[in-house]
Chains A and B, each alone.
Chain A
Amino acid sequence: MKYLEEFRNPQFAKALATKIAENAAGLREIKLMEVCGSHTMAIARYGIRRLLPQNIKLISGPGCPVCVTANGYLDKANAISRLPDVIIATFGDMMRVPGSTSSLEKERSKGSDIRIVYSTMDAITLAVNNPDKQVVFLGVGFETTAPTIAASVLRAKELDLQNYTVYCANKTMPNPMEAIASGDKVDLQGFICPAHVSTIIGARPYEFLAEKYGKSCVIAGFEPLDVLEAVKMLIEQIRIGKPIVQIQYSRVTTVEGNPTALKIMDKTFEVCDTEWRGLGNIPGSGLKLRKEFEEYDADIKFDVIVEPTQEEAGCICGDVMQGISSPTDCPLFGTVCTPEDPVGACMVSSEGSCAASYKYEQF
């Protein structure tokens, strides 16, 4: 697989690890947060923590969109799925995420019509092929996915589809990073910034994290050598004492991002406040459809009675997602909460910190 395997070369990883150890020698403990769930997965899968010196700690952040989706959203999605003549179209990661009392998987076993799609365009095809059904796409994801959801709404308008809506819970990335950087719960020196969110938004939206909060930022790819090089670059920044935003993933990400994707997003969405599981409401961190597209908004179209929200007692997913606790600090981890029978979202999502830790770092 061209441009993937080259970035997994063990010999280069060793050279990078040696360089990191040299640069980190004599420094006090440095905490770096990888924000994105795909980074969390790469770090666990390739054993990157074991390649780093003891004074460099990698902690996971709130960048798994499935993990941060609030219970109330899942409860309403489940309620919509129970309506007659509704097809729910969703990315596969959402199926097993527990809401207050149910999940999409459980609803499907009870008879709801829930389909897993690879692309929002597949959801459009579903709507075209099922004119007597209402197709509701579950719009979960950050800026990487949001333009693909915006594109589906524009396509639905173009085709004049009356039976396609999106139930939006899209979120934007820099906002929770500010919530973490401005708080005093985690003493962070730097961020490993997401790869493909940054491919869309570019490097500028992170600049305030360096300027206002003194956090070093490096945008990194998802392969193990990308993560190691990003750690090396962050430590060099920390040594010099001048936090800036750098791009390690230069083969894909540019300072400007993707202007066409940003335009599609801006045409379709406006900023709103939204709730993050574990972090609570973060002002200006969500995306909702603009007024002129409200006929495609499932939240407006479907008036359903939603069960009262309940949070799982004892689950510390919220602290794990803010980097305050690690998965193994949770009394449920690996006992009553496992990937086969998950309690919290960090365990159910394949990119959640608890799932990554359970799968790769347990022994």
Chain B
Amino acid sequence: MCLAVPMKVISCKNGMGIAEMAGVKKEISFMMLPEAEIGDYVIVHAGFAIQKLNEEEAQKTLALFREMAGLEDDN
């Protein structure tokens, strides 16, 4: 029940907006994340953006995995 997915913010006005993932667009509420901006990746749960996705942290985690797998960091 607590599933939430990363979606990209397409529009955002007066606490409501549109976010998109893999071509699917959804109307979502930004009531819990008023600081979200167009272009941000946000985590969406049951129609609400609940947090921003920190892209820098995501890349750091992936770089660590690459290193562990003995691969060059291509970022």
Residues on A lying within 8 angstroms of B by beta carbon are 1-4, 6-7, 9, 11-12, 14-16, 19, 36-38, 63-66, 91, 93, 118-122, 140-142, 144-145, 147-148, 151, 194-197, 199-200, 222, 225, 229, 250-253, 258, 260-261, 264, 351
Q: Residues of A contacting B3 with CB < 8 Å?
A: 38, 196, 222
In Å, the complex CA distance between A142 and B57 comes to: 26
Is the Cβ of A3 less than 8 Å from the Cβ of B2?
no
Is the Cβ of A195 less than 8 Å from the Cβ of B53?
no
Is the Cβ of B2 less than 8 Å from the Cβ of A194?
yes
In Å, the complex CA distance between A3 and B51 comes to: 14
Is the Cβ of A258 less than 8 Å from the Cβ of B2?
no
Q: Name the residue on B nearest A154 (C-beta).
A: B31
Give the contact-size bracket for chain B: 35 or more
Is the Cβ of A12 less than 8 Å from the Cβ of B68?
yes
| A250 touches which of B33, B45, B61, B70 (Cβ 8 Å) | B61
Q: Would you list 14 pairs from A and B whose C-beta atoms are within 8 A, ordered by A residue?
A: A1-B21, A2-B41, A6-B58, A12-B69, A15-B69, A16-B68, A65-B2, A141-B1, A145-B1, A145-B2, A196-B50, A197-B2, A252-B53, A264-B31
Residues on B lying within 8 angstroms of A by beta carbon are 1-6, 8, 21-22, 29, 31-34, 41, 43, 45-48, 50-51, 53-55, 57-58, 60-62, 65-66, 68-71
Is the Cβ of A151 less than 8 Å from the Cβ of B43?
no
Is the Cβ of B51 less than 8 Å from the Cβ of A258?
yes
In Å, the complex CA distance between A12 and B70 comes to: 9
**Nearest-Cβ distance from residue B73 to partner chain A, whole angstroms:** 13
Is the Cβ of A261 less than 8 Å from the Cβ of B50?
yes
Is the Cβ of A151 less than 8 Å from the Cβ of B54?
no
Is the Cβ of B46 less than 8 Å from the Cβ of A3?
no
| B61 touches which of A144, A194, A229 (Cβ 8 Å) | A229
Q: Residues of B contacting A91 with CB < 8 Å?
A: 1, 46
Is the Cβ of A66 less than 8 Å from the Cβ of B1?
yes
**Lowest 6 A-B CB distances belong to which pairs?**
A119-B47, A15-B69, A251-B58, A12-B65, A144-B2, A261-B32
Q: Name the residue on B nearest A66 (C-beta).
A: B1
Q: Residues of B contacting A197 with CB < 8 Å?
A: 2
Q: Name the residue on B nearest A42 (C-beta).
A: B3
In Å, the complex CA distance between A214 and B63 comes to: 31
Q: Residues of A contacting B57 with CB < 8 Å?
A: 250-251
Given contacts A6-B62, A12-B65, 17 further A-B contacts (CB under 8 A): A2-B8, A12-B66, A12-B69, A16-B65, A16-B68, A37-B2, A91-B46, A119-B29, A119-B46, A141-B1, A142-B2, A194-B2, A196-B45, A196-B50, A199-B4, A222-B3, A251-B58
Q: Residues of B contacting A151 with CB < 8 Å?
A: 29, 31-32, 48
Is the Cβ of B47 less than 8 Å from the Cβ of A148?
yes
Q: Residues of B contacting A122 with CB < 8 Å?
A: 47
Q: Residues of A contacting B58 with CB < 8 Å?
A: 3, 6, 251
**Nearest-Cβ distance from residue B23 to partner chain A, whole angstroms:** 10
Q: Name the residue on A nearest B65 (C-beta).
A: A12
With contacts A37-B2, A151-B29 taken as known, whether A251 is within 8 angstroms of B53 at the C-beta atoms is: yes
In Å, the complex CA distance between A145 and B44 comes to: 11
**Nearest-Cβ distance from residue B39 to partner chain A, whole angstroms:** 13
**Nearest-Cβ distance from residue A174 to partner chain B, whole angstroms:** 14
Q: Residues of A contacting B60 with CB < 8 Å?
A: 250
**Nearest-Cβ distance from residue B43 to partner chain A, whole angstroms:** 5
**Nearest-Cβ distance from residue A319 to partner chain B, whole angstroms:** 22
**Nearest-Cβ distance from residue B49 to partner chain A, whole angstroms:** 10
**Nearest-Cβ distance from residue A20 to partner chain B, whole angstroms:** 11
Q: Name the residue on B nearest A122 (C-beta).
A: B47
